[in-house]
Amino acid sequence: MPDNPGPFALRCGEILSYAAGVLLLGFFLVQIAWGEIERQVDIAQFEDAQAAGFDLSGTGEPDTSLWAPGRIDDYRASLTEEMPEILGVLEIDSVGLKVPVYATATDLVMDRGAGIIDGMAYPHEPGNIGISGHRDGYFRVLKDVKVGDEITLQTLDGVKRFRVSNMRVVEISNRDVLQDTDETQVTLITCYPFYFVGHAPKRYIVTASLDTTYVNRK
């Protein structure tokens, strides 16, 4: 029978295993940091594009005729607050919606406009572009969206156009709608029912597929 490894060999094995773990962790953290750097560079480039003529016209004082009174008050209060970067402008002409899309989806952001759900694709990136808004504010008009309606999204890479392919109601716990996709699509998310008093128990989802005929039209 072969001899059992001695204490020195065991100690060396432990040290090598520890070193390998540290190296793998370091590599993982570097990848995360580099990815964030690239995203911040994209944001800076987008801001440059805004300064060069990004169309924010029509995103000023919104039509609040369908909004809840409290949401109107929240919108007005948000006008004095500092906001994160604008990454796009979402338009659905069929329901009269034109709203700035910010880099995150906090309550404050959604008082002022719509926001990218953390972890989902930015408007100028491929994948599942998840945009959230309040059901009693900007996104209340989603109740009137129909399959086939056009969604226009101004992005760093130009204008992208989508066609609504599906609307559905899901449970709050449903995370499938947040998963990344191989094909570029827009997923609009708001609470449901639209006129529910209190915290709405479900989510209303509008999914739109990219119309490749119009991708990157400046």
Between 61 and 66, the more confident residue is 66
Mean pLDDT for all residues in the chain: 83
Model confidence over 136-147: pLDDT tens digits?
A: 999 999 999 999
**Residue 60: predicted pLDDT:** 73
Better pLDDT: 135 or 8: 135
Residue 123: predicted pLDDT: 93
At 24 the pLDDT is: 66
Q: The whole model's pTM is what?
A: 0.74
Identify the bridge partners of residue 51 per DSSP, sorted by sequence position: none
The kind and range of the H/E element at 46 are helix 7-51
In this model, does residue 1 exceed pLDDT 80? no
Residues 174/175/179/184 CA torsion (nearest 10 deg): 50
Confidence band for 51, pLDDT divided at 50, 70 and 90:
very low
Residue 66: exposed, middle, or buried by beta-carbon count in 10 A (0-12, 13-18, 19+)? middle
Res. 12 pLDDT band, cuts 50 70 90:
low
| DSSP-assigned states of every residue in 97-143 | EEEEEESS--HHHHHHSEEEPTTSPPTTSSSEEEEE--TTTGGGGGG
